[in-house]
């Protein structure tokens, strides 16, 4: 009896909390994370219960002269114009703040120490977004977008009112690197697909996109000094389609598009294994001097560059030189995973040499966790996907670790046994599994100070188009983004799922074909 009553009161409490969270998602008053629907959850939110209302007269003012500042303001205006139908002119002012408008300012004295941090003060009178850098403002702009009703994301004019809750948000990321990886080798995705993916991740304040540009099935980036790589090596894909590749101009277009959203592109050339496309394009890269056939299956671990040949390093040097020259970001990813066809001594020789080449072109190495079995160059980063022991070897060499544990962060893993696309060799990953982990405690011995951040890879053996990409990515991606941005002690699955539920409307408005997990109480309007 006592037992039942206790259960009842616990249920009542849970229902109460859920209702409060749902109601307060839409309107204040109050403070605390459950009172806002922002993903990733900001570090601190306090709401006053009041609102700022947009009107046809609302303009976006920038305080200061920086070009980047105007760029961010222009981006915000572009995002808000279609649905509101308001002109939202971008103008410059000195220091005067008038009612009815949005103000963006760079402030060296901003209370926020991080480059990506920002402060958003919203009152009945106006909206003031301040940050130390334009990058911080750009992250804050995503918060403004998410505070507006979901229909703000539609491309046709909608009925208002357009109002956002008043209060103060102070925010900054937990980890400096928060990203995704897209495998464009197993299946090729065109420039527009990549741009759309960039837009989607920027909405969740991610700042890195790693492109897996080469693998056994296809070489996807034009290298002018080795043209057969794309002409022949890029001509097919898994299942035998026509494949494709980015010209250097197209790659630069992606880099520029990403840069305008403060997203770093990290190019990966996977080596010495996963190189069949290159080995098919140039016979001399094989130890036996014989070109391999193109490969359209999905096996791994059968190909290797010839670590003992001189021409191999000429090849690697040319590829890294050309690609590093097109890449303004600090990182170059050398792959290094599953080199089962490479003798270990050759693997060590190869990875150590290639790290030097990357360094000579001014870039920092990232490699899959296996590279930690070699001597890491100062600054090299190991990307933990499979073996905790390798991640520990990296930390033992004073290297940082990027967290992409396959059992939690692989977006190509199926949600459950009924998922149409994807694999499940590592795990089935439901939305709660993708959210419910903390990089700083996942591997004993690797604390936050050793972690560069989190990245969610999407391997494309089984996904062939943007719809399928979106189905695997959403709704798990916002959770990974929150792991990277929000301090662990401010994250809680039961509260998060309520916030995520409200993002269903946003996914729909953005035309995202997402997996409607039963674990999330979706609110579809």
Which residues are designated catalytic?
338
Least distance to ligand NGO from the beta carbon of 376, Å?
17
Number of residues interacting with ligand NGO: please give it, by CB under 6 A: 10
Least distance to ligand NGO from the beta carbon of 423, Å?
5
HSE value, Cβ hemisphere, 13 Å, CA-based, for 11: 6
Least distance to ligand NGO from the beta carbon of 312, Å?
21
Q: Cα-Cα-Cα-Cα dihedral of 257, 260, 261, 267, to 10°? A: 50
Q: Cα-Cα-Cα-Cα dihedral of 150, 153, 154, 155, to 10°? A: 160
| Terminal C-alpha separation, the chain | 41
What are the Cα distances from residue 136, in Å, to 66, 267, 348, 485, 490?
14, 24, 40, 13, 21
Spatial contact of 299 and 340, defined as CB atoms under 8 Å apart = no
Gap between the Cα atoms of 482 and 206, Å rounded = 9
Nearer to ligand NGO, 382 or 399 (CB): 382
Sole binder of ligand NGO in the list 162, 219, 459, 515 (CB under 6 A): 459
Residue list 219-278, contact with ligand NGO (CB under 6 A):
none
Q: Which residue number is nearest to ligand NGO in terms of Cβ? A: 459
Least distance to ligand NGO from the beta carbon of 425, Å?
6
Gap between the Cα atoms of 373 and 345, Å rounded = 11
Least distance to ligand NGO from the beta carbon of 422, Å?
9
**Six-digit token pair at 370?**
């296996």
Nearer to ligand NGO, 18 or 423 (CB): 423
Least distance to ligand NGO from the beta carbon of 72, Å?
35
Least distance to ligand NGO from the beta carbon of 515, Å?
17
Residue 493 burial class via C-beta count within 10 angstroms: exposed 0-12, middle 13-18, buried 19 and up: middle
Gap between the Cα atoms of 345 and 66, Å rounded = 52
User: In sequence order, what are the residues at sequence separation of 6 or more whose Cβ sits closer than 8 angstroms to the Cβ of residue 67?
Assistant: none
Nearer to ligand NGO, 177 or 203 (CB): 177
The b-or-e profile of 311-339 (16+ CB within 10 A means b, else e) is ebbebbbebbebbbebbebebbbbbbbbb
Nearer to ligand NGO, 90 or 366 (CB): 366
468 lines the binding site for ligand NGO (CB under 6 A): no
Least distance to ligand NGO from the beta carbon of 5, Å?
49
Residue list 189-218, contact with ligand NGO (CB under 6 A):
none
Least distance to ligand NGO from the beta carbon of 412, Å?
5
Nearer to ligand NGO, 75 or 385 (CB): 385
Residue 313's φ and ψ, nearest 5 degrees, are -80, -25
Say if strands 264-271 and 331-335 run parallel, antiparallel, or are unpaired.
parallel
Nearer to ligand NGO, 18 or 300 (CB): 300
Residue list 379-398, contact with ligand NGO (CB under 6 A):
385
Q: How many CB atoms lie within 10 A of CB 3?
A: 7
Spatial contact of 373 and 348, defined as CB atoms under 8 Å apart = yes
Sole binder of ligand NGO in the list 337, 430, 498, 505 (CB under 6 A): 337
User: In sequence order, what are the residues at sequence separation of 6 or more whose Cβ sits closer than 8 angstroms to the Cβ of residue 287?
Assistant: 304, 306, 308, 309
In order, the DSSP letters of 268-304 are EEEESSS-HHHHHH-GGGSTTS-PPPP--S---S---
Nearer to ligand NGO, 454 or 501 (CB): 454
What is the pattern of x (binds ligand NGO, CB under 6 A) and - over residues 396-435?
A: --------------x-x----------x------------
Residue list 90-149, contact with ligand NGO (CB under 6 A):
none
Rg of the Cα trace of the chain?
24
Sole binder of ligand NGO in the list 284, 318, 338, 352 (CB under 6 A): 338
Nearer to ligand NGO, 338 or 492 (CB): 338
Nearer to ligand NGO, 232 or 387 (CB): 387
Instruction: Check residue 197 and give left, alpha or beta (phi > 0: left; psi -120 to 50: alpha).
Output: alpha
What are the Cα distances from residue 148, in Å, to 189, 435, 505?
32, 25, 12
What is the contact surface with ligand NGO in residues (CB under 6 A)?
300, 337-338, 368, 385, 410, 412, 423, 459, 461
């Amino acid at each position: 009896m006592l037992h039942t009553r206790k259960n009842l009161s616990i249920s009542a409490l849970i229902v109460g909390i859920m209702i409060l969270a749902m109601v307060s998602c839409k309107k204040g008053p109050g403070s605390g994370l459950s009172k806002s629907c922002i993903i990733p959850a900001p570090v601190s939110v306090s709401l006053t219960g009041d609102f700022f209302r947009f009107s046809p007269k609302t303009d976006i003012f920038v305080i200061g002269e920086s070009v980047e500042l105007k760029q961010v303001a222009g981006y915000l205006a572009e995002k808000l114009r279609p649905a509101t139908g308001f002109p939202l002119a971008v103008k410059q002012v000195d220091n005067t703040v008038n009612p009815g408008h949005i103000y963006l300012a760079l402030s060296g004295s901003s209370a926020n120490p991080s480059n990506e941090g920002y402060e958003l003060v919203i009152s009945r009178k106006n909206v003031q977004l301040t940050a130390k850098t334009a990058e911080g403002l750009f992250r804050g702009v995503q918060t403004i977008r998410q505070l507006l009703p979901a229909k703000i994301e539609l491309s046709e004019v909608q009925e208002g009112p357009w109002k956002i809750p008043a209060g103060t948000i102070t925010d900054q990321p937990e980890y400096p690197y928060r990203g995704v990886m897209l495998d464009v080798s197993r299946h090729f995705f065109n420039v527009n697909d990549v741009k759309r993916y960039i837009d989607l991740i920027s909405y969740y304040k991610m700042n890195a996109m790693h492109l897996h540009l080469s693998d056994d099935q296809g070489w996807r980036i034009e290298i002018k000094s080795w043209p057969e790589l794309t002409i022949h090596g890029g001509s097919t894909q898994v299942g035998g389609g026509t494949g494709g590749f980015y010209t250097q101009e197209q790659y630069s277009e992606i880099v520029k598009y990403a840069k305008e959203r403060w997203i770093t592109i990290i190019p990966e050339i996977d080596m010495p294994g996963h190189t069949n496309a290159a080995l098919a394009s140039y016979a001399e890269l094989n130890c036996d001097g014989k070109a391999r056939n193109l490969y359209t299956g999905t096996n791994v671990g059968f190909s290797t560059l010839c670590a003992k040949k001189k021409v191999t390093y000429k090849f690697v040097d040319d590829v890294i030189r050309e690609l590093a020259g097109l890449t303004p970001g600090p990182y170059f990813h050398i792959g290094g995973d599953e080199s089962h066809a490479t003798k270990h001594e050759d693997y060590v020789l190869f990875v150590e040499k290639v790290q030097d080449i990357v360094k000579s072109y001014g870039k920092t190495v990232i490699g899959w966790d296996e590279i930690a079995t070699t001597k890491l160059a100062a600054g090299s980063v190991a990307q933990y996907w499979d073996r905790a022991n390798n991640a520990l070897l990296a930390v033992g060499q004073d290297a940082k670790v990027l967290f992409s544990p396959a059992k939690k962060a692989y977006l190509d893993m199926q949600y459950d046994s009924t998922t149409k696309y994807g694999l499940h060799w590592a795990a089935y990953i439901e939305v709660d599994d993708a959210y419910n982990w903390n990089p700083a405690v996942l591997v004993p011995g690797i604390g936050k100070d050793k972690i560069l951040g989190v990245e969610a890879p999407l391997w494309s053996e089984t996904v062939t188009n943007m719809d399928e990409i979106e189905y695997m990515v959403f709704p798990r991606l916002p959770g990974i983004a929150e792991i990277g941005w929000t301090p662990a002690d401010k994250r809680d699955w039961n509260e998060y799922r309520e916030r995520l539920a409200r993002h269903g409307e946003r996914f729909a408005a953005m035309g995202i074909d997402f997996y409607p997990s039963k674990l999330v109480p979706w609110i579809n309007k």
